[in-house]
Structure 1
Amino acid sequence: MRDDQRRQHLVDSNPWWRAASAGEDPTAWITHQRILRSRQDYDLGYRPGILDDVRTGPITDLLIVLTGPRRIGKSVALLDTAAELCARPDLDPRQVVYLPCDGMSAQDVRRCLVLARELTRAIDFDQPQPQPRVWLLDEISGVSGWTATLKLARDTTDFGGDTVIATGSRWAADEDVQGNLLAGRAGTTPGRRTRLLLPMTFRDYMTASRRQTPPLDAVHVSDLQSPEVARALDAIAFDVDAYDLAWQDYLTCGGFPRAVAEHTRNGVVSDNYLGDLKSWLRTDVDPEGPQDSVPRLLSTLAERATSPLNIAHTAEELGYSSRSVAERRLNRLVSSHAALWCPRRDGDKIVVGAQSKLYLTDPILASLPSRLRSGMPAPDMTRLTEMAIGVVMARAIDDLEESRWVSGDTIGYARTAREGEVDLAPITVPSPAGPVTTVPLESKWVGHGWKGEARTMTGKYSRGILATKSVLDVSGDVWAVPAPLVALLLQ
């Protein structure tokens, strides 16, 4: 890009600059903005609060890396943030800089950081020092070398004292986010530096789809078997069937906002939107493969989700040329936040060389193959439940300790002496009282006969919870709790 093109890109992306300069309404652009206008077609009122502190707090030195899958609403969250900042009477709208980075090079980004400050220099006149900016850098993770670019700007220019939100859909191993951005360059303002925007939780889904207001509050992951939780569960025992039906709907549509809206209004997620998700995954996971490569991969993973994944056998079944090809595609799936590894653990240590499970991070990804390609099996509710409970546990752990999701240090399964398996082994997490361990969980989507399934957990840990279909029993050392209620307790 030439400088004139970069300037025009900035002006077009920040219509509130012109409005502020002309003394006009700096929020008038909202009704015409293409992305926000498109949301109106599937808007159920869901608004993630992941950037609320930026929208309402002081503009200080702060750097946030916001990551999550494509189609989840990161651009929408940035534009909502821009809209609220433009409406604040204590800010000049020209302090807000929105920069869509798709298709840019590192040089383009470097120049845009300079040009944006030059284009808004009027707000610095008659000021004792330059006014801080809020930089909303959308999908910058697609720019090769983006962390080094921002590092240099934080170290050598006024950009180092600004609020910066950098978003991306892939957590690339070759970009040193921690070293370049979070080690001494993330500012002194309190707040999480690494944030995940993931599909709606079951609680979010219940609220957005107006099924009912969940009466269960989330608790610390170490308190799932507390007396207070037992009393709360007993109080809603009469409503277990309603939660079971809502859970099955959630497993059918998942938590992508548009999918939830389509399912709520029309009873089904559209093929068009499923095609959008397929296109995202094909681009990020297997751009050179045939059209059916991603559906076949997702279908295979959904069928094997409850067992450790033999990558060599998976590669052979899918017709890949080697195990390394399969590993590359699986790791791309994880870095794109479409899947999550669940390794085998012995205590807090990952067992080196042991096979890991792989969970899809949203139920709709398991339904995509059978919906878009004939002959592929529909996903099984039992496997979907185990994946969903594993993912919500991982999210709860990441909420307690920043960056554990992106570093692959959340959940894990355990083996017993007799080769039994516990789906989610105890993991050490922080608490106000110091380090504690999570309650072990096992997913058994059954409506009766659960006590036989509890023997493995009883023998291994003498405590724990079985996430069932509809059985609720909190009378023993191992509890049976319906999976939707476990999900609500976790998040």
Structure 2
Amino acid sequence: MRDDEIRRHLTQMNPWWRAAVSGTSPTAWVDQHRVFRDLGRHDMGYRSPVLDDIANGPVSDQLVVLSGPRRIGKSVTLLQTAERLCSRADVDPRQVIHVPCDGMTTQDLRRVLVLGRTLTASVDRETPTPRVWLLDEVSAILGWSAILKGARDNTDFGDDTVVATGSRWAEGEDIEGNLMAGRAGSGTRRWRTLYPMSFREFTSATAPELGLPDRLHPAELQSGVARSALENYGFFVDDFDLAWQAYLTTGGFPRAVAEHSQLGAVTDSFIADLEAWLHRDVEPAASPESVPLLLNALATRSSSPFSVSSAAQELSYGKGVLDLRLRRLIASHALVRCPRREAGQIVPGAQAKYYLADPILSWLPSRRRSGLPAPDMTQLTESIIGVTQARAIDVIDEGRLPHGDTIGYVRTSNDKEIDLGPVVVPTSTGAGMTVPLESKWVDHGRKSEARTISAKFDAGILATKSVLDLEGRVWAVPAPLVALMLL
């Protein structure tokens, strides 16, 4: 892009700059903006808190890398953050620089950092004034993190607040080395992910009349506080069971939740959008039908260790190709790896389980290809409880989920499996261990699984369909209540 093209791009993408000249409201642009008009058709009032501190806090010297799957609303969240910043009396709208980066080159990004400051130079009066840079889908630019590092080390850009978003990070991009080491902002959670709505967020949006138990630390799911909370919700087990089944059918993508609430189901067009995202990021050279087949292979095997060799043979491509596609699914936030663990440590070379990161991804195969089965609700419950615990651990220990170090299954001496064994997590008093969890989405017949957990760990929780039983060392707790306590 030429400099004049970049200038035009920045001016068009930052309509609030005109307010300083025209004397209009710095948020008047919202009513005319296409993203907000589109959002209005599916808006249920849900707002992710992922950038609340950027919108409400100091505008200098913060750096946040925000990742998340496509179609989750990262661009919307950035624009909502811009709106909130522009509405503040202590922020000049010219301090906010929004840059959609799709289609840009490394040289374009370098020039953007120069021209963005030049175009807003009128905000610098006696001293340089910090900016807030909202760089959308910057991960599409090869080497972007090194460019930002150089600018932060050597220019006034180092005093600015920067939010850089992306849907899939290139394997060779050294984000941690370039941006996470050293000074990256005081007290800021630097690496964040915009996830699909959790079951708690889904229930708050779709069934606000249901009171929700407080979240607990993953190491405290069998504490006295947990017992008291669960006893108070025993009368509402059936209501939570219905809400859980709705969540397993819909998932947490905000548009999917809105469509389910407004129309009774997620539309075919949104399912097609999700398939197009995965085809682009995971299997761009494969046939269109490859995505449903791959997701079906993962969903139907989710409750057992995944054999890459046998799955690759079934899918008719090599083991190396499948390994690559699994890594891409994880990098695209569509898949969570659940390795085998012993004494809390990952067992090298052992087969892992794989959980699709949102329920709607398990429905995509049967919605997009005739003859593929609908997901099994028992398997889907195990997957989503695993994903929920992985996300909960990442909340209290930043960066573990991107590195695959959150959850893990365990084998017993008689070769049985426990879905989620204990892992080390930080607590207020030092290192602690999560509570063992086994998904058993039934109303009866849970005693053998309880004995398995008791023999291996002495205590733990069975995530049931609707049984709540807090007697003994192994509790039976409905899966939706387990999810609500975790996240």
* Alignment-mate amino acid for residue 458 of structure 2: S
Give a deviation string over 1:52-98, Cα, whole Å, max 9, x none. Answer: 11111111201000111111111111000000111111111000000
2:212 and 2:484 in contact (8 A); partners too = no
TM-score by length of 1: 0.98
User: Which whole-Å CA distance do the structure 1 matches of 2:4 and 2:137 have between them?
Assistant: 22
- What's the CA shift for 1:22? 2.1
Within the candidate set 420, 425, 444, 2:421 is matched to: 425
User: Which whole-Å CA distance do the structure 2 matches of 1:191 and 1:157 have between them?
Assistant: 21
1:74 match: 74
User: Which whole-Å CA distance do the structure 1 matches of 2:274 and 2:119 have between them?
Assistant: 37
What is the SS of the residue equivalent to 1:66?
A: strand
User: Which whole-Å CA distance do the structure 1 matches of 2:7 and 2:438 have between them?
Assistant: 55
1:461 match: 457
User: Which whole-Å CA distance do the structure 2 matches of 1:52 and 1:457 have between them?
Assistant: 40
Superposition pairs of residues 18-29 of structure 1, within 5 angstroms:
18-29=18-29
User: Which whole-Å CA distance do the structure 2 matches of 1:220 and 1:337 have between them?
Assistant: 23
What stretches of structure 1 of length at least 5 have no aligned partner? none
* Alignment-mate amino acid for residue 30 of structure 1: V
What is the SS of the residue equivalent to 2:239?
A: helix
What is the SS of the residue equivalent to 1:377?
A: coil
1:203 and 1:214 in contact (8 A); partners too = no
User: Which whole-Å CA distance do the structure 1 matches of 2:235 and 2:17 have between them?
Assistant: 56
1:303 match: 300
User: Which whole-Å CA distance do the structure 2 matches of 1:145 and 1:251 have between them?
Assistant: 38
User: Which whole-Å CA distance do the structure 1 matches of 2:341 and 2:375 have between them?
Assistant: 27
- What's the CA shift for 1:352? 0.7
1:468 and 1:483 in contact (8 A); partners too = yes
Mean Cα displacement is larger for which, 229-238 or 107-116? 229-238
2:88 match: 88
1:393 match: 389
1:270 match: 267
User: Which whole-Å CA distance do the structure 2 matches of 1:347 and 1:9 have between them?
Assistant: 54
2:351 match: 355
Superposition pairs of residues 198-237 of structure 1, within 5 angstroms:
198-237=195-234
Within the candidate set 374, 379, 385, 1:383 is matched to: 379
User: Which whole-Å CA distance do the structure 2 matches of 1:124 and 1:237 have between them?
Assistant: 60
User: Which whole-Å CA distance do the structure 1 matches of 2:342 and 2:35 have between them?
Assistant: 46
Give a deviation string over 1:391-427, Cα, whole Å, max 9, x none. Answer: 0000110000110111111111111111111111101
1:490 aligns with 2:461: no
What is the SS of the residue equivalent to 2:255?
A: helix
Give a deviation string over 1:144-190, Cα, whole Å, max 9, x none. Answer: 10111111111111001100000011133211111000112413x21
What stretches of structure 2 of length at least 5 have no aligned partner? none
2:392 and 2:486 in contact (8 A); partners too = yes
1:120 match: 120
What is the SS of the residue equivalent to 1:280?
A: helix
Question: Over aligned residues, Cα RMSD in angstroms?
Answer: 0.9
2:443 match: 447
- What's the CA shift for 1:266? 1.0
1:348 and 1:428 in contact (8 A); partners too = yes
1:252 and 1:364 in contact (8 A); partners too = yes
1:105 aligns with 2:105: yes
Give a deviation string over 1:356-410, Cα, whole Å, max 9, x none. Answer: 0000000000001101111110000001000000000001100001101111111
- What's the CA shift for 1:206? 0.5
User: Which whole-Å CA distance do the structure 2 matches of 1:453 and 1:211 have between them?
Assistant: 34
- What's the CA shift for 1:213? 3.2
Within the candidate set 153, 164, 174, 1:155 is matched to: 153
What is the SS of the residue equivalent to 2:336?
A: strand
User: Which whole-Å CA distance do the structure 2 matches of 1:234 and 1:371 have between them?
Assistant: 39
Equivalent pairs, count: 487
- What's the CA shift for 1:283? 0.2
User: Which whole-Å CA distance do the structure 2 matches of 1:297 and 1:151 have between them?
Assistant: 37
2:174 match: 176
User: Which whole-Å CA distance do the structure 2 matches of 1:244 and 1:59 have between them?
Assistant: 43
User: Which whole-Å CA distance do the structure 2 matches of 1:87 and 1:378 have between them?
Assistant: 46
- What's the CA shift for 1:211? 5.0
Superposition pairs of residues 367-382 of structure 1, within 5 angstroms:
367-382=363-378
User: Which whole-Å CA distance do the structure 2 matches of 1:232 and 1:112 have between them?
Assistant: 52
